Amino acid sequence: MEIRLTAAVIFYYTLFTLSVEAEKAKDHKFVSLSRVNTGDAEVRRNHTTADDGKRQTVARNKTVKNKKVVFGRTQSKATCTSLGGICQPTRYICQGRYLKDTCSFGNTQCCVPDKAWSVLCAGHYHNRIRACDVYGCGAFNSRRGARLHKAADLVCDDYGVINAPFSGILSGPVGHTDPSGIQYDGVKLVSAVHCVKLLNMRPYRYMGSVTRGDAVGYLLPLQDRFSGITSHLKLQMCDRSDPTPFI
């Protein structure tokens, strides 16, 4: 009887001990996992917040900066290059004319050499300014009675095709009336840098974009009204400045 009682006590004591140890192990494992998970979560959360915030800030500033700087330079350089020019400091000699606000490299400006535009009159190898005849001279600032000729007359053939000297947009009809009351038709061509009026011609259209060298109209016949005159296209800058350096 005593032996059985002793065995029973030992058996229950062993079960109790094993149960307590199991509960302790379970609690210890739970606490360890909780600490690890919490720590990892905190580390990941802190790392993500700091890293993402910094990365987003740097990337955003860099993107904006690149857009401002690169876009501005690319656009300016492309505009100057499309005109046949080069961005250079103004202390250098420009064999032509400096154009303002077309370069963004410090104190540089776009140097456009002479004859930067294409030939306007089809069938001609170059833009030739009309010489003097019985009706006057075609050079810019040539004397026309009591006034100055604020345009350049380019020798063309009657009904000859007129080509766009540069890429741009046709922005409507223009006209000119001489002292005798004769009306001369034409069209205005505008680009990011230049604005010209092409007169003594009949445009194919008055609106829309054109590419350098595209046919934009044909020369109206002048011989019918002015026998012996040199047929010509009247090229006038919109601000009445000298177009000679570009042709």
How is 144-203 classified by DSSP, letter by letter?
ETTEE--SEEEE--TT-EEE-SSSEEEEEEEEEE-TT--EEEEEEEE-SS-EEEEESEEE
What pLDDT, on the 0 to 100 scale, is given for residue 80? Answer: 75
Give a yes or no: residue 237 inside a domain: yes
- Residue 5 lies inside a defined structural domain of this protein: no
Q: Would 178 be classed as within a structural domain?
A: yes
In a domain, 187, yes or no: yes
Structure tokens given for 18: 């094993």
Class of residue 166 by CB neighbours under 10 A (exposed 0-12, middle 13-18, buried 19+): buried
- Per-residue pLDDT in tens (0 to 9) along the chain, 247 residues: 556 666 666 666 666 666 656 565 555 444 444 444 444 444 344 444 444 444 444 334 444 333 333 333 344 556 677 666 788 888 888 777 777 777 877 788 888 765 678 899 998 988 999 999 888 899 999 988 788 989 999 999 999 999 999 999 999 999 876 666 666 789 999 988 889 999 999 999 999 999 999 999 999 988 878 888 999 999 999 999 999 888 8
DSSP for residue 133: B
Instruction: Name the nearest CA neighbour of 129 among 163, 152, 151, 98.
Output: 152
Number of domains composing the chain: 1
* Nearest-angstrom CA–CA distance, 7 and 10: 5
Residue 167 within a domain: yes
Structural domain span for residue 203: 143-246
DSSP per-residue codes, 71-117: HHHHHHHHHHHHTT-EEEETTS--SEEEETTS--STTEEEEEESS-S
Which pair of structure tokens corresponds to residue 210?
A: 């054109």
Per-residue exposure over 191-229, b if at least 16 CB sit within 10 Å of its own CB, e if not: bbbbebbbbbbebbeeeeebeeeeebbbbbebeeeeeee
Q: Which CATH number fits the domain that encloses residue 238?
A: 2.70.70.10
Report if residue 13 sits inside a domain. no
Euclidean distance between CA atoms 164 and 129, whole angstroms: 17
Residue 49 forms part of a structural domain: no
Q: Is residue 51 part of a domain?
A: no
pLDDT of residue 51: 46
Give the pLDDT confidence score for residue 233 in this predicted structure: 95
- Alpha-carbon distance of 219 to 214, in angstroms, equals 15
